[in-house]
Chains A and B, each alone.
Chain A
Amino acid sequence: GQNIDQPTEMTATEGAIVQINCTYQTSGFNGLFWYQQHAGEAPTFLSYNVLDGLEEKGRFSSFLSRSKGYSYLLLKELQMKDSASYLCAVMDSNYQLIWGAGTKLIIKP
């Protein structure tokens, strides 16, 4: 079956760095996405990785290793507004997105 695993919840301190991991097992691979979802709101697109390596976008970076079925989202210089759920999703061979349950990130002052 298809499976996306990510931690349920993480806590970090304002100004620090946090890494959210995602492992996946899917039928085919056409890219991995990270989305941010604030409570009561819709998910918003953060990043897309289809090749191995690190993609940097401001304070956020996303890494992919296809051979290991592994990705992480790195958030630097954490701000209180970064408190949200972070969703990992993989596009399978049918170009359908398979979603993880999300990681709730709590930022403490």
Chain B
Amino acid sequence: TAGITQAPTSQILAAGRSMTLRCTQDMRHNAMYWYRQDLGLGLRLIHYSNTAGTTGKGEVPDGYSVSRANTDDFPLTLASAVPSQTSVYFCASSAGDGSGGYTFGSGTRLTVV
């Protein structure tokens, strides 16, 4: 089934450790996004990539980094996790100018202790 695959589904991480959240799409969408979703807040954009080889900072980029080596993969790395990074992380993609909507992965629930 075409779509976006995120891994892992959930993770408990010790503070200070690093971790990479994986995201892969098979729709050949040019744009990809990483969001975090916290209770009572809207989806907040962490980083985005409009096309392979380019990335940009979103609303809450601090503590996170991304890379876009090819069209399909868009990993998100936490270099040194802190408890405030406990959240649900969604990867999304869109084609063209995004007017067709975003397709979301199933999310990664991360708990930093």
Quick check: A42 and B42 within 8 Å, CB to CB?
A: no
- A31-B48 CB under 8 A given contacts A42-B105, A87-B43, A100-B42: no
A29 shortest CB reach to chain B, Å: 12
Shortest B59–chain A CB gap in Å is 9
Query: From B6, which residue of chain A is reached at the shortest CB distance?
Result: A42
What's the least CB distance linking B24 to chain A, in Å? 15
* CB contact between B101 and one of A48, A98, A100, A102 (< 8 Å): that residue: A48
User: Min CB distance, A49 to chain B, in Å?
Assistant: 11
Instruction: Write out, one digit per residue, whether chain A residues 3-31 have a CB within 8 A of any chain B CB (1) or not (0).
Output: 01000000000000000000000000011
In the complex, residue of chain A having the shortest beta-carbon distance to the beta carbon of B96: A95
Which A residues form the contact surface with B (CB < 8 A)? Answer: 4, 30-31, 33, 41-45, 48, 50, 87, 89, 91, 95-102
How many angstroms between the C-alpha atoms of A95 and B96 in the bound complex? Answer: 10
Q: Inside 8 A of A96's CB, which chain B residues have their CB?
A: 45, 48, 58
Cross-interface CB contact of A97 among B40, B98, B106, cutoff 8 Å: B98
CA A87 – CA B35 in complex, angstroms?
Answer: 14
Residues of chain B at the chain A interface (Cβ within 8 Å) = 40-45, 48, 58, 90, 97-107
Q: CB-CB < 8 A to A95: which residues of B?
A: 97-98
Q: Which A residues touch B101, using CB under 8 A?
A: 33, 45, 48
Sorted nearest first, the 7 A-B pairs with minimum C-beta distance are: A99-B42, A45-B101, A42-B104, A99-B43, A101-B42, A42-B106, A43-B104
- How far, in Å, is B93 (CB) from chain A's closest CB? 12
Given A96-B48, A100-B42, A91 and B99 contact (CB-CB distance below 8 Å): yes
| Complex partner residue of B42 from A33, A87, A91, CB under 8 angstroms | A87
Q: How far is the CA of A45 from the CA of B4 in the complex (A)?
A: 14
> Which residue on B lies nearest to A41, using beta carbons?
B106
